[in-house]
Amino acid sequence: MWWRIQALLIKEFLSLLKDKKSRFVLIVPPLVQLFLLSYAATYDLNQLPIAIYNEDRGSAARDLIARFNGAPAFREVLRIERQEQIAAAQDSKQVLMVLHIGQSFSRDLLGGRQLAPVQILLDGRDSNTAQIALGYARNVISQFNSDWARQHNQTGPPAELRVRAWFNPNLESRWFIVPGIVGLLTLVVTMTVAALSVAREREQGTFDQLLVTPFTPAEILIGKAIPGLIIGVAEASFSIFMVVFWFQVPLLGSLAALYIGIVLYVFSVIGAGLMISSLSVTQQQGLLGGFLVIVPGVILSGYATPIENMPELVQQLTFVNPLRYFLIIIRGVFLEGLGIADLIDQYWPLALIGLFCLSCAGLLFRKRMY
Amino acid sequence: MSVASQRLLGLIRKEFLQVLRDPSSLAIAFAMPVFLLLLFGYGVSLDARRVPIGLVIEHVSPASRSFSAGFDYSDYFQAHYFRDMREARQALLTRKINAIVHLQADFDQRLTGSEPAPIQVIVNGVDANTARLTSGYVQGVFEAWLNARAAWQGQEAPQPVQLAARVWYNSALRSRNFLVPGLIAVIMTLIGALLTALVMAREWERGTMEALISTPVSVREVLLGKLIPYYLLGMGGMLLSISMAVFLFQVPLVGSLWVLLVAGTLFLLAALGMGLLISIAAKNQFVAGQIAIVVTFLPAFILSGFIFNIDSMPWAVQLFTHLVAARYFVAILQTVFLAGNIWEVILPNALALLLMASAFLALALWRAPRRLE
């Protein structure tokens, strides 16, 4: 049996890699994407263009403005002189935030009895960035408040918050996002390889030839699954190498725990891809099916938006999503230093998804012969 | 009717028949937008509401009770009480809660002391964005408590400067209002490229390209024959998406539908043109499919400003985003939906789309096969 599988493997690898273009698309675009997307995907604000509208002549207002200008998150691109300019600056998306200090700011602040309001106008067209920007602005102001209290010899606040973040002390969202990209790229590449594999043979008519050979469906299935497994694991390995050495994300946990996760993850993705492929008659159908798994798979994985924010029913749906488990594994191993024992609950669902899909694919091989 | 237009009509008819016989194209144009919009519209939310938070209060007193009441009554939190830090840490590690707020036993005494009494907050930093939002909310509860306490005791406000935030265009900061319009751009990118990415490669692979070339139709006619049917399908999908956004998800459409349709046409031409170019360059459905997936979905998702802010990216990446057509369309969609017909945003972005569409179509025409190799 082994030599037959070996023959199948050679055939599969040849059809994947013999063509220069298909070699190219398997290797180059994922790597380019790893770089581009890793640099792009961050929730940390950096040099966000803001406008400042200061009606106050006091030094306190100047101090507050200096703090906004000093914060790396903001960059003043416009000084507003008249009320009407605000709308124009916001409408044209020139700035995302306007800091407005009213005429009585310094007076209220020095008077002490009254709260000195500072207005912030945000562009809700991008409400996510608006919300993050608001958080940054709030930090600048509370720092200003506590420094003000200290300088003016007030009896400072009776209590203070001491915030500490575990696992990611500087709250760099890149540490969270970049390991996730490994899961994303592996999903995209292995899914398309698997989803097109059987569909291509069907469309070209070579699948019937394969079925009349002495190969059993199980052997054909293994022959189709292993090349994808090797390609997926190789690509994931290279991406992880870059994440550690180029992006300098700390890898605290054990590599063994990570690799068990990678193999099981790629296995489950290939299972899903082969199931789609054995349902499709043309490559277009295979591609569409792959897409219909990849897109929700990414959206409902907790990659960009937390699963806890989803409605209960959708949260239940995420339990059949391999990427959900893999993201927990890779982030856990990288940032929390988890080991094999901590991740058992993530491993077995992946294995289950893979086995289920592969058995379905095997059944469909025989059922759909046209 | 001239011979040329008859030929074109014949080609369009052939393409439509192909679409109807392999319903996966119809599925791409109509089922996919519905499916994805439902999934995104209901599934994705960036609004952290009811964040599970652990409170450890070692000594219950009026002061600590008034503090923890701020968490009990906040919409942002779902408070869980723990007896000691050990239990709370365990819950944080197993992700049952996102953060711990810890008041030590001597909190009351230290409140009246000279140094500020410490309130320990631990957040799980793995998801840095959620962690930052959570600690911002904790800060909000804390400041409200401080000011309320000072006012009650007749003291000066300890936080003299107060932030009043106002949000324009989407005043409730409903993330669905900005996600759904952006999503239309992502979905249209997928539809546009998927519809056409395989159509030329398929003719090569199946050997029908030879038959096409040997007929009197010109290259331009072949491309137009491919473009027109898929343009009609794509616009159908787009109208469907817009009506779902407006009627199902109740996203306000402040600007005009016509602006959206014109911008949508330009964008779709760019997306279809890109698909055709991929298809012509690849000549092989596997390669075309891989490229189409790689250059459409992830860039439209991550590099378009749909979720991640473009201004915060490194400048080289910002430069690159100008090559992503979805970027321009996202800006137009979000503006027309939420802010209205603001020409300062619409015109430059529409112009960029027009340039991209012409570039892709011109390249496709230039690279189109004129002979069998």
- Which of chain B's residues have a Cβ under 8 Å away from the Cβ of A298? 297, 301
Please indicate whether, in this complex, the C-beta atoms of B42 and A41 are within 8 angstroms of each other.
no
Residue B243's pLDDT is what? 93
Residue A10 CA to residue A67 CA, distance in Å, equals: 64
B177 close to B254: Cβ distance less than 8 angstroms: no
A229 close to A270: Cβ distance less than 8 angstroms: yes
**Sheet harboring A159-166: ordered strands across?**
A159-166, B117-124, B99-103, B51-57, B77-82
The residue of B293, B315, B337 whose CB has the most chain A CBs within 10 angstroms, and thus the best one to mutate to test that interface, is: B293
B161 close to B149: Cβ distance less than 8 angstroms: no
Average pLDDT over chain B, rounded to an integer: 84
Position A165 in a domain = no
Q: Is the dihedral of CA B174, B178, B183, B184 positive or negative?
A: positive
Arithmetic mean of pLDDT, A12-34: 82
Same domain? A209 vs A76: no
**Exposed/middle/buried for residue B42 (C-beta within 10 Å: 0-12, 13-18, 19+):** middle
Same domain? A292 vs A318: yes
Same domain? A35 vs A136: no
Domain ranges of chain B: 3-44+174-367, 51-152
Q: Number of Cβ pairs closer than 8 Å across A and B?
A: 370
Please indicate whether, in this complex, the C-beta atoms of B345 and A131 are within 8 angstroms of each other.
no
Same domain? A118 vs A190: no
B278 close to B288: Cβ distance less than 8 angstroms: yes
Buried b (16+ CB within 10 A) or exposed e, B323-345: ebbbbbbbbbbbbbbbbbebeeb
Residue B363's pLDDT is what? 92
Nearest-CB residue to A163 (from B121, B157, B293): B121
The residue of A288, A310, A316, A329 whose CB has the most chain B CBs within 10 angstroms, and thus the best one to mutate to test that interface, is: A288
Kindly report which listed range (A277-281, A323-327, B292-296) carries the lowest average pLDDT score: B292-296
Question: A171 at the B interface (CB within 8 A)?
Answer: yes
Asked if residue A13 has pLDDT above 60, the reply is yes
- The CATH superfamily holding the domain B51-152 is abc type-2 transporter like domain (3.40.1710.10)
Arithmetic mean of pLDDT, A14-19: 81
Same domain? A119 vs A196: no
Residue B156's pLDDT is what? 66
Please indicate whether, in this complex, the C-beta atoms of A158 and B117 are within 8 angstroms of each other.
yes
B165 close to A120: Cβ distance less than 8 angstroms: yes
Same domain? A217 vs A135: no
B27 close to B236: Cβ distance less than 8 angstroms: no
B332 close to B350: Cβ distance less than 8 angstroms: yes
> Would you tell me which residues 220-259 of chain A have a C-beta closer than 8 angstroms to some C-beta of chain B?
none
How is residue A18 written in tokens?
A: 């013999």
Same domain? A122 vs A176: no
Position A108 in a domain = yes
Please indicate whether, in this complex, the C-beta atoms of A48 and B294 are within 8 angstroms of each other.
no
Same domain? A355 vs A279: yes
Same domain? A142 vs A277: no
Same domain? A250 vs A326: yes
Asked if residue A369 has pLDDT above 60, the reply is no
Residue A177's pLDDT is what? 85
Q: What is the dihedral of CA A129, B342, A118, B308, to 10 degrees?
A: 10
Arithmetic mean of pLDDT, A283-308: 84
Q: Is the dihedral of CA A246, A247, A251, A254 positive or negative?
A: negative
The residue of B18, B22, B85, B167 whose CB has the most chain A CBs within 10 angstroms, and thus the best one to mutate to test that interface, is: B167
Nearest-CB residue to B22 (from A90, A166, A284): A284
Assign A35 a pLDDT band (cuts: 50, 70, 90). confident
Question: A344 at the B interface (CB within 8 A)?
Answer: no
Question: A83 at the B interface (CB within 8 A)?
Answer: no
Q: Which of A151, A180, A201 is the last residue of a domain?
A: A151
Residue B239's contacts (CB-CB under 8 Å, 6 or more residues apart) are B261
Kindly report which listed range (A22-26, A227-231, B56-60) carries the lowest average pLDDT score: A22-26
How is residue A213 written in tokens?
A: 């050979």
| DSSP H or E segment with residue A100 | strand A97-101
- Which of chain A's residues have a Cβ under 8 Å away from the Cβ of B162? 115-118
Q: Which of A87, A120, A151 is the last residue of a domain?
A: A151
Residue A97 CA to residue A46 CA, distance in Å, equals: 13
- Which of chain B's residues have a Cβ under 8 Å away from the Cβ of A344? none
Using 70 as the pLDDT threshold, list the residues of chain B that sit under it.
1, 45-48, 156-159, 170-173, 371-373
Question: A122 at the B interface (CB within 8 A)?
Answer: yes
What region, left, alpha or beta, does residue B250 occupy, with left being phi > 0 and alpha being psi -120 to 50 degrees? left
**Sheet harboring B161-168: ordered strands across?**
A74-80, A48-54, A97-101, A116-123, B161-168
Report which of residues A264 and A93 the model is more confident about. Answer: A264
Residue A370's pLDDT is what? 45
Q: Is the dihedral of CA B239, B242, B248, B253 positive or negative?
A: negative
The residue of A20, A126, A269 whose CB has the most chain B CBs within 10 angstroms, and thus the best one to mutate to test that interface, is: A126
Same domain? A245 vs A357: yes
A4 min Cα distance to partner chain B (Å): 25
Summarize pLDDT for A197-219 with one digit per residue, the tens.
888 888 888 888 887 888 887 88
Residue B107's pLDDT is what? 85
Please indicate whether, in this complex, the C-beta atoms of A93 and B132 are within 8 angstroms of each other.
no
- Which of chain A's residues have a Cβ under 8 Å away from the Cβ of B164? 117-120
Please indicate whether, in this complex, the C-beta atoms of A126 and B194 are within 8 angstroms of each other.
no
B122 three-class SS:
strand
- Which of chain A's residues have a Cβ under 8 Å away from the Cβ of B122? 163-166
Question: A149 at the B interface (CB within 8 A)?
Answer: yes
Q: Whole domain around residue A327: which residue ranges?
A: 9-41+172-367
Place of tokens 């675009």: A29
- Which of chain B's residues have a Cβ under 8 Å away from the Cβ of A175? 128
Q: What are the backbone angles phi and psi of residue B121, rounded to the nearest 5°? A: -125, 125
What region, left, alpha or beta, does residue A47 occupy, with left being phi > 0 and alpha being psi -120 to 50 degrees? left
Into how many domains does chain A fold?
A: 2
DSSP result, A122-134: EEGGGHHHHHHHH
B54 close to B123: Cβ distance less than 8 angstroms: no
Residue A119 CA to residue A117 CA, distance in Å, equals: 6
Instruction: For residue B163, list its beta bridge partners.
Output: A118
Report which of residues A262 and B127 the model is more confident about. Answer: A262
- Which of chain A's residues have a Cβ under 8 Å away from the Cβ of B204? none
Residue B310's pLDDT is what? 84
Summarize pLDDT for A119-171 with one digit per residue, the tens.
888 887 877 788 888 888 888 888 888 888 777 766 667 777 778 878 777 77
B7 min Cα distance to partner chain A (Å): 26
Please name which of B351, B355, B61, B44 lies closest in space to residue B186, comparing C-alpha atoms.
B44
CATH number at residue A112: 3.40.1710.10
Please indicate whether, in this complex, the C-beta atoms of B334 and A200 are within 8 angstroms of each other.
no
